[in-house]
Amino acid sequence: MEAKKTVVLGVTGSVAAYKAVGLCSALVKKGVEVYPVLTQSAVRFVAPLSFESITHTPCAVDQFSRETPWEIEHIALAKRADVFAVMPATANFIGKYANGIADDLLTTVAMAVTAPAVLAPAMNSAMYLSPANQHNMKVLKERGVRFVEAESGPLACGDVGVGRLAGEEALLAAIFAALYPKRDFAGRRVLVTAGPTREPIDPVRYISNRSSGKMGYAIAMAARDRGAQVTLVTGPTALEAPGGMEVVRVTTTQEMYDAVTSRFPGMDVAIKAAAPADFTLDPAENKIKKTEEGGAPVLALRRTPDILAALGRQKGGRFLCGFAAETQDVESYALGKLERKNLDMIAANDVTKPGAGFDGDTNIVTLYARDGAKVQLSGTKRAVADALLDEIAKRL
Protein backbone atom coordinates (compact mmCIF):
# COMPACT_ATOMS: atom_id res chain seq x y z
CA MET A 1 0.00 0.00 0.00
CA GLU A 2 1.24 3.47 -0.84
CA ALA A 3 2.38 5.42 2.24
CA LYS A 4 0.06 8.19 3.32
CA LYS A 5 0.96 11.67 2.16
CA THR A 6 1.68 14.23 4.84
CA VAL A 7 0.60 17.86 4.96
CA VAL A 8 2.00 20.20 7.57
CA LEU A 9 -0.89 22.64 7.87
CA GLY A 10 0.09 26.07 9.21
CA VAL A 11 -2.74 28.15 10.61
CA THR A 12 -2.17 31.82 11.41
CA GLY A 13 -4.14 34.45 13.28
CA SER A 14 -6.91 35.42 10.91
CA VAL A 15 -10.68 35.43 11.43
CA ALA A 16 -10.68 32.75 8.74
CA ALA A 17 -8.65 30.41 11.01
CA TYR A 18 -11.83 28.48 11.87
CA LYS A 19 -12.09 27.46 8.19
CA ALA A 20 -8.81 25.57 8.59
CA VAL A 21 -10.67 23.10 10.83
CA GLY A 22 -12.96 22.16 7.92
CA LEU A 23 -9.98 21.99 5.58
CA CYS A 24 -8.08 19.76 8.02
CA SER A 25 -11.09 17.46 8.31
CA ALA A 26 -11.48 17.26 4.51
CA LEU A 27 -7.79 16.34 4.12
CA VAL A 28 -8.02 13.62 6.78
CA LYS A 29 -11.16 12.19 5.12
CA LYS A 30 -9.21 12.03 1.86
CA GLY A 31 -6.55 9.90 3.54
CA VAL A 32 -3.94 12.58 4.14
CA GLU A 33 -1.92 12.66 7.35
CA VAL A 34 -2.16 16.23 8.68
CA TYR A 35 0.13 17.86 11.23
CA PRO A 36 -1.39 21.20 12.23
CA VAL A 37 0.90 23.97 13.42
CA LEU A 38 -0.90 26.94 14.94
CA THR A 39 0.65 30.30 15.72
CA GLN A 40 -0.06 31.91 19.09
CA SER A 41 -2.41 34.35 17.30
CA ALA A 42 -4.27 31.50 15.60
CA VAL A 43 -4.94 30.00 19.03
CA ARG A 44 -6.86 33.22 19.88
CA PHE A 45 -9.30 32.37 17.06
CA VAL A 46 -9.48 28.58 17.10
CA ALA A 47 -8.67 25.88 19.65
CA PRO A 48 -5.83 23.38 19.09
CA LEU A 49 -8.19 20.76 20.49
CA SER A 50 -10.40 21.10 17.39
CA PHE A 51 -7.49 20.00 15.20
CA GLU A 52 -6.33 17.33 17.65
CA SER A 53 -9.82 15.79 17.67
CA ILE A 54 -9.66 15.46 13.88
CA THR A 55 -6.05 14.38 13.39
CA HIS A 56 -5.54 12.44 16.63
CA THR A 57 -2.07 13.93 16.86
CA PRO A 58 -0.84 16.71 19.14
CA CYS A 59 -1.34 20.13 17.61
CA ALA A 60 1.97 22.00 17.58
CA VAL A 61 1.93 25.58 18.80
CA ASP A 62 4.86 26.25 21.08
CA GLN A 63 8.40 25.99 19.80
CA PHE A 64 9.73 25.06 23.24
CA SER A 65 6.98 22.69 24.33
CA ARG A 66 8.10 19.26 25.58
CA GLU A 67 4.70 17.71 25.07
CA THR A 68 4.94 16.78 21.40
CA PRO A 69 6.48 13.57 20.04
CA TRP A 70 9.10 15.46 18.00
CA GLU A 71 12.69 15.64 19.15
CA ILE A 72 13.65 18.84 17.41
CA GLU A 73 10.15 19.85 16.59
CA HIS A 74 10.50 22.29 13.71
CA ILE A 75 13.06 20.15 11.86
CA ALA A 76 11.08 16.95 12.37
CA LEU A 77 7.90 18.60 11.11
CA ALA A 78 9.69 20.16 8.13
CA LYS A 79 11.17 16.77 7.16
CA ARG A 80 7.80 15.01 7.42
CA ALA A 81 6.00 17.39 5.07
CA ASP A 82 5.16 16.29 1.54
CA VAL A 83 3.46 19.67 1.31
CA PHE A 84 3.69 22.70 3.58
CA ALA A 85 0.37 24.57 3.46
CA VAL A 86 -0.38 27.75 5.37
CA MET A 87 -4.09 28.44 5.23
CA PRO A 88 -5.05 31.09 6.17
CA ALA A 89 -1.77 33.01 5.84
CA THR A 90 -1.70 36.49 7.39
CA ALA A 91 0.32 39.46 6.12
CA ASN A 92 2.53 38.99 9.18
CA PHE A 93 3.37 35.37 8.31
CA ILE A 94 3.88 36.18 4.62
CA GLY A 95 6.21 39.06 5.55
CA LYS A 96 8.28 36.89 7.89
CA TYR A 97 8.46 34.00 5.42
CA ALA A 98 9.57 36.30 2.60
CA ASN A 99 12.27 37.83 4.76
CA GLY A 100 13.60 34.73 6.50
CA ILE A 101 12.40 35.69 9.97
CA ALA A 102 11.97 32.64 12.17
CA ASP A 103 10.68 33.67 15.59
CA ASP A 104 8.05 31.03 16.37
CA LEU A 105 7.34 27.40 15.56
CA LEU A 106 5.55 27.98 12.24
CA THR A 107 8.17 30.36 10.84
CA THR A 108 11.00 28.03 11.89
CA VAL A 109 9.23 25.15 10.14
CA ALA A 110 8.82 27.42 7.09
CA MET A 111 12.56 28.13 7.04
CA ALA A 112 13.46 24.44 7.30
CA VAL A 113 10.91 22.96 4.92
CA THR A 114 12.01 21.79 1.47
CA ALA A 115 8.64 20.38 0.35
CA PRO A 116 6.42 22.47 -1.96
CA ALA A 117 4.78 25.33 -0.08
CA VAL A 118 1.24 26.53 -0.75
CA LEU A 119 -0.12 29.68 0.89
CA ALA A 120 -3.69 30.98 0.98
CA PRO A 121 -3.70 34.58 2.18
CA ALA A 122 -6.60 36.05 4.15
CA MET A 123 -6.63 39.62 5.40
CA ASN A 124 -8.20 43.04 5.02
CA SER A 125 -8.08 44.24 1.41
CA ALA A 126 -5.93 47.31 2.18
CA MET A 127 -3.40 45.03 3.85
CA TYR A 128 -3.61 42.53 1.00
CA LEU A 129 -3.03 45.19 -1.64
CA SER A 130 -0.41 47.10 0.36
CA PRO A 131 2.93 47.47 -1.46
CA ALA A 132 4.67 45.58 1.37
CA ASN A 133 2.38 42.54 1.18
CA GLN A 134 2.36 42.53 -2.63
CA HIS A 135 6.16 42.71 -2.64
CA ASN A 136 6.45 39.88 -0.11
CA MET A 137 4.07 37.69 -2.13
CA LYS A 138 6.06 38.44 -5.28
CA VAL A 139 9.33 37.46 -3.57
CA LEU A 140 7.81 34.18 -2.41
CA LYS A 141 6.28 33.43 -5.83
CA GLU A 142 9.67 33.96 -7.45
CA ARG A 143 11.06 31.41 -4.98
CA GLY A 144 8.48 28.90 -6.15
CA VAL A 145 5.95 29.25 -3.32
CA ARG A 146 2.45 28.71 -4.70
CA PHE A 147 -0.48 30.91 -3.79
CA VAL A 148 -4.20 30.31 -3.76
CA GLU A 149 -5.13 33.93 -4.35
CA ALA A 150 -7.54 35.60 -1.94
CA GLU A 151 -11.08 36.14 -3.19
CA SER A 152 -13.20 39.30 -3.32
CA GLY A 153 -16.30 39.84 -1.22
CA PRO A 154 -17.45 41.13 2.18
CA LEU A 155 -14.66 40.96 4.77
CA ALA A 156 -14.91 40.39 8.53
CA CYS A 157 -13.92 44.02 9.19
CA GLY A 158 -16.97 45.26 7.26
CA ASP A 159 -15.03 46.31 4.16
CA VAL A 160 -15.81 44.80 0.78
CA GLY A 161 -12.84 43.86 -1.38
CA VAL A 162 -10.15 41.31 -2.07
CA GLY A 163 -8.78 39.43 0.93
CA ARG A 164 -11.20 36.58 1.71
CA LEU A 165 -9.68 33.14 2.13
CA ALA A 166 -10.33 31.15 -1.06
CA GLY A 167 -13.00 28.45 -0.88
CA GLU A 168 -12.25 24.98 0.49
CA GLU A 169 -12.38 23.32 -2.95
CA ALA A 170 -9.70 25.69 -4.29
CA LEU A 171 -7.54 25.07 -1.21
CA LEU A 172 -7.86 21.30 -1.54
CA ALA A 173 -7.13 21.44 -5.29
CA ALA A 174 -3.93 23.41 -4.67
CA ILE A 175 -2.78 21.05 -1.93
CA PHE A 176 -3.48 17.95 -4.03
CA ALA A 177 -1.78 19.48 -7.09
CA ALA A 178 1.31 19.91 -4.90
CA LEU A 179 0.99 16.44 -3.31
CA TYR A 180 0.60 14.63 -6.62
CA PRO A 181 2.49 16.74 -9.15
CA LYS A 182 1.98 15.88 -12.79
CA ARG A 183 5.07 14.33 -14.36
CA ASP A 184 3.65 14.30 -17.88
CA PHE A 185 6.68 16.13 -19.31
CA ALA A 186 9.22 13.70 -17.80
CA GLY A 187 11.93 12.99 -20.35
CA ARG A 188 10.80 15.85 -22.64
CA ARG A 189 13.23 18.60 -23.60
CA VAL A 190 11.40 21.91 -23.59
CA LEU A 191 12.73 25.24 -24.85
CA VAL A 192 10.97 28.36 -23.57
CA THR A 193 11.69 31.96 -24.51
CA ALA A 194 10.77 34.87 -22.24
CA GLY A 195 11.06 38.60 -21.84
CA PRO A 196 11.82 41.42 -24.20
CA THR A 197 14.94 41.99 -26.25
CA ARG A 198 16.82 45.27 -26.50
CA GLU A 199 18.17 46.84 -29.69
CA PRO A 200 20.82 49.47 -28.90
CA ILE A 201 20.44 52.94 -30.47
CA ASP A 202 23.69 54.22 -28.96
CA PRO A 203 25.71 53.26 -25.84
CA VAL A 204 22.97 54.59 -23.51
CA ARG A 205 19.66 54.04 -25.32
CA TYR A 206 17.76 51.09 -26.74
CA ILE A 207 14.47 50.02 -28.38
CA SER A 208 12.48 47.50 -26.35
CA ASN A 209 8.97 46.72 -25.11
CA ARG A 210 6.98 46.14 -21.93
CA SER A 211 7.50 42.38 -21.54
CA SER A 212 8.51 41.48 -17.97
CA GLY A 213 9.29 37.82 -18.72
CA LYS A 214 6.66 36.60 -16.18
CA MET A 215 4.65 34.57 -18.70
CA GLY A 216 7.68 32.75 -20.12
CA TYR A 217 9.24 32.16 -16.70
CA ALA A 218 5.92 30.72 -15.44
CA ILE A 219 5.84 28.30 -18.39
CA ALA A 220 9.47 27.30 -17.84
CA MET A 221 8.86 26.63 -14.13
CA ALA A 222 5.62 24.73 -14.77
CA ALA A 223 7.37 22.52 -17.36
CA ARG A 224 10.26 21.92 -14.93
CA ASP A 225 7.82 20.97 -12.16
CA ARG A 226 6.16 18.49 -14.55
CA GLY A 227 9.44 16.72 -15.19
CA ALA A 228 10.73 18.43 -18.34
CA GLN A 229 14.36 19.21 -18.98
CA VAL A 230 13.98 22.94 -19.57
CA THR A 231 16.09 25.51 -21.38
CA LEU A 232 14.94 29.07 -20.76
CA VAL A 233 16.25 31.65 -23.23
CA THR A 234 15.52 35.00 -21.68
CA GLY A 235 15.92 38.62 -22.60
CA PRO A 236 16.76 41.16 -19.88
CA THR A 237 14.22 40.97 -17.01
CA ALA A 238 14.10 41.85 -13.32
CA LEU A 239 13.17 38.27 -12.40
CA GLU A 240 15.33 35.88 -10.41
CA ALA A 241 16.69 33.02 -12.55
CA PRO A 242 14.60 29.92 -11.76
CA GLY A 243 16.50 26.89 -10.47
CA GLY A 244 16.52 23.43 -12.00
CA MET A 245 16.91 24.47 -15.62
CA GLU A 246 19.42 25.85 -18.10
CA VAL A 247 19.05 29.63 -18.27
CA VAL A 248 20.53 31.39 -21.30
CA ARG A 249 20.61 35.17 -21.11
CA VAL A 250 20.51 37.25 -24.29
CA THR A 251 20.04 40.91 -25.06
CA THR A 252 19.20 41.42 -28.74
CA THR A 253 16.81 39.59 -31.05
CA GLN A 254 19.77 38.34 -33.11
CA GLU A 255 21.28 36.85 -29.91
CA MET A 256 17.93 35.23 -29.09
CA TYR A 257 17.75 33.90 -32.65
CA ASP A 258 21.23 32.36 -32.35
CA ALA A 259 20.55 30.87 -28.89
CA VAL A 260 17.19 29.42 -29.91
CA THR A 261 17.91 28.12 -33.40
CA SER A 262 21.14 26.42 -32.29
CA ARG A 263 19.33 24.57 -29.45
CA PHE A 264 16.07 23.77 -31.25
CA PRO A 265 17.30 20.56 -32.97
CA GLY A 266 17.85 18.98 -29.51
CA MET A 267 14.35 19.84 -28.27
CA ASP A 268 10.96 18.10 -28.28
CA VAL A 269 8.87 21.21 -27.59
CA ALA A 270 9.47 24.94 -28.05
CA ILE A 271 7.22 27.61 -26.55
CA LYS A 272 7.92 31.19 -27.61
CA ALA A 273 6.48 33.54 -25.01
CA ALA A 274 9.20 36.16 -25.51
CA ALA A 275 8.50 39.51 -27.08
CA PRO A 276 11.58 40.01 -29.28
CA ALA A 277 11.99 43.46 -30.79
CA ASP A 278 10.85 43.43 -34.44
CA PHE A 279 13.16 46.26 -35.53
CA THR A 280 16.83 47.03 -35.05
CA LEU A 281 19.40 49.51 -36.33
CA ASP A 282 23.13 50.10 -36.53
CA PRO A 283 23.87 51.71 -33.15
CA ALA A 284 25.85 54.96 -33.01
CA GLU A 285 29.33 54.55 -31.55
CA ASN A 286 28.85 57.44 -29.12
CA LYS A 287 25.82 58.91 -27.36
CA ILE A 288 23.70 60.83 -29.88
CA LYS A 289 23.74 64.47 -28.77
CA LYS A 290 20.85 66.94 -28.95
CA THR A 291 21.56 69.75 -31.40
CA GLU A 292 21.17 73.50 -30.81
CA GLU A 293 18.68 73.68 -33.70
CA GLY A 294 16.35 71.29 -31.87
CA GLY A 295 16.28 68.68 -34.64
CA ALA A 296 15.82 64.99 -33.84
CA PRO A 297 17.76 62.12 -35.41
CA VAL A 298 15.97 59.85 -37.86
CA LEU A 299 16.51 56.19 -36.95
CA ALA A 300 16.99 53.90 -39.93
CA LEU A 301 15.25 50.76 -38.70
CA ARG A 302 15.38 47.38 -40.33
CA ARG A 303 13.66 44.08 -39.49
CA THR A 304 15.14 41.63 -37.00
CA PRO A 305 15.10 37.93 -37.89
CA ASP A 306 11.77 36.19 -37.16
CA ILE A 307 12.84 33.42 -34.80
CA LEU A 308 9.49 31.65 -34.71
CA ALA A 309 9.25 31.53 -38.50
CA ALA A 310 12.78 30.06 -38.64
CA LEU A 311 11.77 27.35 -36.15
CA GLY A 312 8.63 26.64 -38.19
CA ARG A 313 10.83 25.96 -41.23
CA GLN A 314 13.04 23.44 -39.36
CA LYS A 315 10.27 22.03 -37.13
CA GLY A 316 10.21 18.36 -38.18
CA GLY A 317 8.35 16.32 -35.55
CA ARG A 318 8.86 18.89 -32.76
CA PHE A 319 5.93 20.66 -31.13
CA LEU A 320 6.05 24.40 -31.74
CA CYS A 321 3.87 26.86 -29.81
CA GLY A 322 4.00 30.58 -30.51
CA PHE A 323 2.38 33.51 -28.76
CA ALA A 324 0.61 36.45 -30.37
CA ALA A 325 0.39 39.78 -28.56
CA GLU A 326 -2.34 41.71 -30.33
CA THR A 327 -4.30 44.91 -29.79
CA GLN A 328 -6.99 44.27 -32.45
CA ASP A 329 -8.37 41.48 -34.71
CA VAL A 330 -6.79 39.00 -32.31
CA GLU A 331 -8.26 35.85 -33.86
CA SER A 332 -7.42 36.58 -37.47
CA TYR A 333 -3.85 37.71 -36.70
CA ALA A 334 -3.32 34.65 -34.47
CA LEU A 335 -4.66 32.22 -37.05
CA GLY A 336 -2.52 33.93 -39.72
CA LYS A 337 0.63 33.38 -37.61
CA LEU A 338 -0.35 29.76 -36.86
CA GLU A 339 -0.52 29.05 -40.58
CA ARG A 340 2.32 31.21 -41.92
CA LYS A 341 4.87 30.16 -39.29
CA ASN A 342 3.95 26.46 -39.41
CA LEU A 343 3.01 26.25 -35.71
CA ASP A 344 1.18 23.49 -33.84
CA MET A 345 -0.43 25.98 -31.50
CA ILE A 346 -0.60 29.70 -30.84
CA ALA A 347 -1.53 31.44 -27.58
CA ALA A 348 -3.12 34.77 -28.40
CA ASN A 349 -3.46 37.51 -25.80
CA ASP A 350 -5.30 40.76 -26.36
CA VAL A 351 -2.78 42.94 -24.52
CA THR A 352 -5.29 45.82 -24.22
CA LYS A 353 -7.54 43.79 -21.86
CA PRO A 354 -7.21 44.45 -18.11
CA GLY A 355 -5.61 41.41 -16.51
CA ALA A 356 -3.98 40.27 -19.77
CA GLY A 357 -0.60 40.60 -21.44
CA PHE A 358 2.42 42.53 -20.31
CA ASP A 359 3.85 42.74 -16.82
CA GLY A 360 0.89 41.76 -14.57
CA ASP A 361 0.65 38.47 -12.69
CA THR A 362 -2.38 37.28 -14.68
CA ASN A 363 -3.15 36.60 -18.32
CA ILE A 364 -6.13 35.90 -20.55
CA VAL A 365 -5.25 33.74 -23.53
CA THR A 366 -7.05 32.02 -26.38
CA LEU A 367 -5.27 28.95 -27.71
CA TYR A 368 -5.68 28.01 -31.36
CA ALA A 369 -4.38 24.56 -32.27
CA ARG A 370 -3.56 23.18 -35.70
CA ASP A 371 -6.24 20.51 -35.14
CA GLY A 372 -8.86 23.29 -35.05
CA ALA A 373 -9.34 23.42 -31.26
CA LYS A 374 -9.94 26.78 -29.63
CA VAL A 375 -9.48 26.96 -25.84
CA GLN A 376 -9.83 29.93 -23.45
CA LEU A 377 -7.42 30.15 -20.52
CA SER A 378 -7.25 32.74 -17.76
CA GLY A 379 -5.85 33.17 -14.26
CA THR A 380 -2.42 33.70 -12.78
CA LYS A 381 0.38 33.32 -15.30
CA ARG A 382 1.33 30.09 -13.50
CA ALA A 383 -2.22 28.76 -13.88
CA VAL A 384 -2.24 29.75 -17.57
CA ALA A 385 1.17 28.09 -17.98
CA ASP A 386 -0.10 24.81 -16.51
CA ALA A 387 -3.28 24.88 -18.60
CA LEU A 388 -1.19 25.59 -21.73
CA LEU A 389 1.04 22.60 -20.90
CA ASP A 390 -2.09 20.44 -20.39
CA GLU A 391 -3.13 21.30 -23.96
CA ILE A 392 0.35 20.62 -25.34
CA ALA A 393 0.61 17.31 -23.41
CA LYS A 394 -2.63 16.09 -25.03
CA ARG A 395 -1.06 16.58 -28.45
CA LEU A 396 2.44 15.17 -27.91
Q: Which residues are catalytic?
A: 157
DSSP conformation class of 18? G
Q: Which stretch binds ligand PMT (CB under 6 A): 5-13, 49-57, 281-289, 321-329?
A: 321-329
- Does 392 participate in binding ligand PMT (rule CB under 6 A)? no
Shortest reach from residue 137's CB to ligand PMT, in Å: 16
Which distant-in-sequence residues (6+ apart) come within 8 Å of 274 by Cβ? 193, 194, 195, 196, 197, 211, 213, 216, 233, 234, 235, 256
Q: Which stretch binds ligand PMT (CB under 6 A): 10-18, 161-169, 280-288, 355-363?
A: 355-363
Shortest reach from residue 391's CB to ligand PMT, in Å: 15
Shortest reach from residue 142's CB to ligand PMT, in Å: 13
Buried b / exposed e across 251-281, counting CB within 10 Å, b at 16+?
Answer: bbbbbbbbbbeebbeebbbbbbbbbbbeebe
Number of residues that bind ligand PMT (CB under 6 A): 29
- For residue 181, the SS3 value is coil
Q: Give the integer Cα–Cα distance in Å for 164 and 126.
A: 12
Nearer to ligand PMT, 61 or 275 (CB): 275
| Interface pick for ligand PMT out of 231, 349, 366, 380 (rule CB under 6 A) | 349
Q: Which stretch binds ligand PMT (CB under 6 A): 95-103, 145-153, 353-361, 368-376?
A: 353-361
Q: Which sign, positive or negative, has the C-alpha torsion 205, 208, 214, 216?
A: negative
DSSP conformation class of 188? -
- Does 221 participate in binding ligand PMT (rule CB under 6 A)? no
Site map (CB under 6 A) of ligand PMT, residues 261-300, x = contact: -----------xxxxx-x----------------------
Nearer to ligand PMT, 190 or 307 (CB): 307
CB 282 within 8 A of CB 300: yes
> Which amino acid, residue 38?
L
Q: Give the integer Cα–Cα distance in Å for 329 and 350.
A: 9
Give the β-pairing of 345-350 and 362-369. antiparallel
| Interface pick for ligand PMT out of 81, 322, 364, 369 (rule CB under 6 A) | 322
Q: Which residues bind ligand PMT (CB under 6 A)?
A: 193, 195, 211-215, 253, 272-276, 278, 304, 306-308, 322-325, 337, 349, 351, 357-359, 363
